[in-house]
Structure 1
């Protein structure tokens, strides 16, 4: 039985959209958290891009004393190797895959869809995109890391090996240390994915220079 589509905050262009960006938030946030970023990107009005900011399901989070909050997966410990709960990651990846497929069914082809994610959302993006069965326009992985990187070699789908993957991280990030993001980048490149890496003088957030770079990158992959 197919689960209902994730609820989303939706930002639609004035004309019929021919591209879509699906942007996944971080732990304890919601789709409303990143929705205000759209005007900050200052994309040309001629680009008919729909932005979807889905809400993660609510679930107990172990490191927060079992408190229920919006989370793409449980975090049982802050240990580098076991921070992300694989079962939860795979469950959320399936939900996001449904959302992508719904956009394809609506008439936006996969190669006009960008999958973006910040922190926990980036973990889902980096898990789903390399395994997805259709070529995407691009992947944006911000201040994030990879769940079970050792699995990628056997599970990767070649179809997105040339898809641009922009990976970015704050040098002073105390939530997801920069070495975790760089390790994910190295795993992507070792598995021959088309990933780039850049850092910014910031903590676990986004900054104006990063937004400018994201805007330029989106214009490149969706031109």
Structure 2
């Protein structure tokens, strides 16, 4: 299976990719406005940038009475730590890994210049995939989500992304992914030694302008580091 994608590109030959994974019931269009709101001109000065926004497959979702909708995995229980859909998570992990590999194969953008980012279920898939990916990624962004299969992460994570920077953000009033679940994920990631920048905002299960501004600053810092040492020459790009 190949995921349907929306692709936004600033130059003909980009150097960086940000792969953005939507939440339950949404699709690749969901985060186009957020991508457009990010001011990443400082990154673009070092080379073009691609946003890749895939749409998850349509599957029955137990918690929604078996209704088919776009979802990265099934939600079987309101308590997200109970009866996790491990098989579904691993199927989507493979699809996302293929998407990352396709960026290098078709666009010449290696994993170390790819940021994987997601909201809610997309956040879960970002952490699930990013920590297990066999090659170094530029960074991981998790918004309003959690770390799935928390108990097996330590055993299953790979060495390549132990030092990869992680941006996590959550709303203090989130009633979908309760803050305690996000805090438990943060605690486990820090226990395992991951470099996590944590932000909490007075909001529900959503994205705020303050969050976008903080994310923007983190992306500029992270992708500039991925480009190489300050002053290093960039690859030629075409407008």
Instruction: Give the alignment's TM-score, normalised by structure 1.
Output: 0.95
Higher deviation after alignment, 104-113 or 164-173 = 104-113
Match of 2:215 in 1: 214
Distance in 1 of aligned mates of 2:77 and 2:182: 17
Match of 1:184 in 2: 185
Matched residues, number: 220
Match of 1:140 in 2: 141
SS state at 2:213 partner: helix
Distance in 2 of aligned mates of 1:91 and 1:127: 11
For CA contacts below 8 A with separation 6 or more, give which structure has more relative contact order: 2
5+ residue gaps in structure 1? none
SS state at 1:198 partner: strand
Larger radius of gyration: 2
Distance in 2 of aligned mates of 1:23 and 1:129: 13
SS state at 2:160 partner: helix
SS state at 1:212 partner: helix
Higher deviation after alignment, 42-51 or 29-38 = 42-51
Per-residue displacement from partner, 1:36-66 (whole Å, max 9, x unpaired)?
2122112215251100010000000011010
Match of 1:24 in 2: 21
Tell me how far 1:182 sits from its aligned partner: 1.1
Q: Is the 8 A contact 2:175 2:205 kept in 1?
A: yes
Match of 2:6 in 1: 9
5+ residue gaps in structure 2? 225-239
Q: Is the 8 A contact 1:115 1:129 kept in 2?
A: yes
SS state at 2:200 partner: strand
Q: Is the 8 A contact 1:182 1:197 kept in 2?
A: no
Tell me how far 1:84 sits from its aligned partner: 3.5
Distance in 1 of aligned mates of 2:84 and 2:221: 31
Match of 1:68 in 2: 68
- Of residues 30, 33, 41, the one that matches 2:30 is 33
Match of 1:127 in 2: 128
Match of 1:99 in 2: 99
Per-residue displacement from partner, 1:102-124 (whole Å, max 9, x unpaired)?
11213101110000010001111
